[in-house]
Amino acid sequence: MEKQEIDFKSIIENLNEAVAAVDYDNKIVYANKYFCSLFNTGCEILCGKNIYEFLPEKQDTTVIKDCSYKIIKYDDAYFSYYYLSVANSQMEKIYSDFISTVSHELRTPLTSIRGFADTMLMSFDKLDKAQIQKFLTIIKEQSNRLIKLVENLLSISKIQVQHSNLVFKSVNAKALIEQVAEILKNQYPTHPFEIKSSLEVPNVLVDESKFQQIMINLMDNAAKYSYEKGSITISIDNAAKDNFVSIKVKDHGVGIEPENMSKIFEKFTRIENHLTRKTQGSGLGLYIVKDLIEKMGGQIFVESSTELPNSGSVFEVLLPVASYTSQSKKKLEDK
């Protein structure tokens, strides 16, 4: 029986569907990460509970987190397996949203790049130096926008992969955030970036490139959705939660309405207000940020107010401290 248990765990853990194994008393004996994530819990919590506490009995579909899933049951000599796969109609909607968003987001910068390039080719001898510099700047900005969109799409394509090949190392959060701020200062020259750090804040245990991607997304959003000349404050401190470092990114924008707080981390979601209408985006950034943070053992929270014109929002990221114990544990998990 022990070998059978090891075998089915290794099989269902790597499936791209949510799967739970159940004994003949309908008690859960194992659930893979995908299944656990649907109910915001861990396998050790689910084990021993009746499967029908989570799935409807004698039905072949269920709705979890506003998504419709088809339930498929399979029995073998040892267990019953419950497979949850996204219903076709839901997949079609996701695919349709994806195509619509991507086609729009790609078309806009490509149209700008082609338009200004054509203008320069046809009228280069009639343009003065200032006009040429202006057109080249626009082409560069739109090219950077395309690069960011492609990077986000590549991240989305990998987001369901269980083993995302993260390379964990000890990283100085303040030093990396200062590098990101220098990059963004050129893009947002009217927004001051202020970095505050407590003394003796330990390093974090993260994948350095993914951590940089997280901070670029959060700090870029903070500048993009702040009022003109609004400051961006990044605070780094020891978290109240043991063995975590807290990183807070505060903007001075319109804030987020309470009913939209649960939506901002969803794919293709952009909150409608006069600041977001002036900027363009794919609605993928925060979805990717949350996924990467959780893959690195962290958490993300948001506080926001719309009571005052520039109350803004605060995004707090908790990341594990790079202690000797945590690094040793991570090496064991990766083997």
Give tens-digit pLDDT for 238-247.
Answer: 987 788 999 9
In a domain, 163, yes or no: no
Domain containing residue 121 = 89-158
If asked whether residues 291 and 207 sit together in one domain, one would say yes
- The verdict on residue 304 lying in a domain is yes
Domain boundary among 158, 192, 210: 158
Q: Are residues 235 and 212 in the same domain?
A: yes
Q: Identify which of 14-23, 31-40, 138-147 has the greatest average pLDDT.
A: 31-40
CATH of residue 120's domain is: 1.10.287.130
Structural domain contains residue 9: yes
Looking at the fold, whether 116 and 173 belong to one and the same domain comes out as no
Q: What is the CATH number of the domain that holds 229?
A: 3.30.565.10
**Would residue 48 count as lying in a domain?**
yes
pLDDT, residue 14, reads 67
Examine residue 102 and state whether it is found in any structural domain, yes or no: yes
Q: What is the mean pLDDT of residues 274-290?
A: 63
Are 153 and 220 within one domain? no
Same domain, yes or no: 107 and 142 = yes
Q: Same domain, yes or no, for 40 and 176?
A: no
Residue where one domain finishes, among candidates 158, 178, 194 = 158
Give the residue from 86, 114, 133 where a domain finishes. 86
More confident of the two residues 69 and 282: 69
Q: Residues 154, 184: one domain? A: no
Residues 283 and 176 in one domain: yes
CATH code of residue 63: 3.30.450.20
pLDDT at 49: 94
Q: How many domains does the chain have?
A: 3
**pLDDT tens-place string over residues 144-161:** 778 777 776 666 655 554
255-264, 298-307, 322-331, range with greatest mean pLDDT: 298-307
User: Within this chain, do residues 75 and 107 fall inside the same structural domain, yes or no?
Assistant: no
Q: Is the dihedral of CA 298, 174, 249, 186 positive or negative?
A: negative
Question: Are 81 and 95 in a shared domain?
Answer: no
In the prediction, which pLDDT does 204 show? 95
Does 81 map to a domain? yes
User: What is the pLDDT of the chain when averaged over all its residues?
Assistant: 80
Task: Examine the domain organization and report whether 10 and 57 are in the same domain.
Answer: yes
Same domain, 184 and 302: yes
